[in-house]
Amino acid sequence: MRFSTIILTSTIVLLASMGPAAGAHAAVAHNEVAETCPPTESIPPGVERISGADRFEVSARTSARSFPGGAAVVFLATGSGFADALSGSAAAGHLHGPVLLVTKDSVPASVRAEIVRLAPRDIVILGGTASISSEVERSVSGLATGSVKRISGDDRYDVSARLASQMFGTDVDTVYVASGEVFSDALSAAAAAGDAFAPVLLVQKNGVPPEIARYLAARGDVEHIIIVGGPSTVSDATALTLAANAPTQRVPGPDRYAVSAATSANQFCAERSMVFVASGEVFPDALSGSAAAIAFGSPVLLVSKNGISLQVEQELRRLDPQRIIVLGGQDTISKSLEDKLANYLRP
């Protein structure tokens, strides 16, 4: 079910505190009309870790966990950078598919096996040949029963705009905006955007790239722009530029962990069945996590290797999950932290 967002505030809203969510796909943090949260499915409680020998195997195992029955579409992104994977995650979630990681010149065996298992109709390659070679494109052509399509652009900003245009069409009333220069806010934004049926657009700290400006100008029916991150990642001047297109709300925080908690609180109802937890310090293991979280209607919260911030602790208490999925091995999120997460499970 899709929910509309009703803004009752000024053009730029600073989300100073994390209020409880108002609906399945819209929260009361900016004084919206309250909506009823649908009940969540009851699942076995526990903390579950998805890990692997490398980032590629983690992406394959994350896909297998989240899409056990296969998927009609699979997105492929480079495992060497974060931008294409995270802007693609919202699109993948929108189309009920995973994001799998490849190298520039090869498809790792674990990923190839997962594509075969998924049996997709279509494969979408994210980024140009500088990120994923033509040879990789040719090597996966026989793994799709339909088409293999590449979405590329001049840079990560252009790719995010093209993804939004081609994957979401014209039926867009909300867009999420995050920094294209740091991964953490885009990671939190992707899960929330996918839950809101919204694309993720990447911007620079001190400017709106022309491709993003053209996309927004062509979408005159956009009603709500949500900026994920504080002025240190997306400046107030950039926020004002975005506000010329639609009412703009900022979801800030003193650090990436607080931003992830605030983003979750702004989008997700309490009493989620499942919550995903990823490292806020390194990006590789988390790249496939947002699309997986979208499949379960779940947020992604960020932690350090050995600690949980106060804001994330508070959000875990509010979400009251039955199951927590830890993305990545013990080199990124320690076993002691995994054990601590059990304290936040619903009794």
Sheet bearing 122-126, strands edge to edge = 99-102, 73-78, 122-126, 148-151
Determine the pLDDT at residue 171.
Answer: 80
Residue 172 backbone dihedrals phi, psi, to 5 degrees: -130, 120
- Is residue 260 a contact partner of residue 312, using CB atoms and an 8 Å limit? yes
Number of Cα atoms under 13 Å in the Cβ half of residue 169: 4
Positions in the chain whose pLDDT score sits under 50: 1-35
Contact 97/121 with Cβ under 8 angstroms?
Answer: no
The pTM of this model reads 0.89
Predicted local confidence at residue 293, as pLDDT: 96
Residue whose C-alpha is closest to residue 166's, from 58, 91, 254, 248: 91
Q: Which two tokens stand for residue 346?
A: 């619903």
Those residues with Cβ within 8 angstroms of residue 205's Cβ, 6 or more apart along the chain or in another chain: 179, 181, 232, 233, 234, 235, 238
Given a contact cutoff of 8 angstroms between Cβ atoms, the answer to whether 227 and 234 are in contact is yes
Query: Which pLDDT score is estimated for 220?
Result: 83
Residue 35 has phi, psi (to 5 degrees) of: -130, 155
Q: What is the pLDDT of residue 36?
A: 56
Residue 5 pLDDT:
33
Domain ranges across the chain? 26-51+256-347
pLDDT digits (tens, 9 = 90+) for 150-177: 999 999 999 999 999 999 988 899 999 9
- pLDDT confidence of residue 22: 30
Amino acid letter, 230: G
Neighbours of 256 (CB within 10 A): 22
Neighbours of 28 (CB within 10 A): 16
Residue 9 has what pLDDT?
29
Residue 57 has a pLDDT of: 97
- CA Rg value for the chain: 18
Give the bridge partners for 102, in sequence order: 78
